[in-house]
Amino acid sequence: MCVEPHVRPTNDTRPIGFHLSWPVDLDVVSVQMETRFNANGGRESVYFPELLEDGSRMVIASQSFHLSLLPLSAWEEIEELVWGD
């Protein structure tokens, strides 16, 4: 597991992609980003737990990854799904 601090944004820009902003209506002391990896080194999940001023903790965002290998025979179906006829 990799844990690192999630830094408070210095300007009022909106989050882009998976870069979330700090909650403005909570008394947040710190936010961390925890990334969990599987035995093969691939990412399994990302969590953003935060510490509030009253000492309580909560998760403000999370994302899970589920990957699977497909046989080469599935490529034509994927091509059709992505690019159409």
Please give the model's pTM, rounded to 2 decimal places: 0.52
Q: Give residue limits of the domains in the chain.
A: 2-83
Q: Average pLDDT, whole number, for the chain? A: 78
SS3 label, residue 12: coil
- Which one-letter DSSP state was computed for residue 73? G
pLDDT, tens digit (0-9, with 9 covering 90-100), for 38-76: 888 888 999 888 888 888 888 888 889 887 888 998 988
Q: Output the six-digit token pair for 21.
A: 């902003």
If phi > 0 it is left, if psi is from -120 to 50 it is alpha, else beta; for residue 72 that is: alpha
Lowest mean pLDDT among 17-21, 54-58, 79-83: 17-21
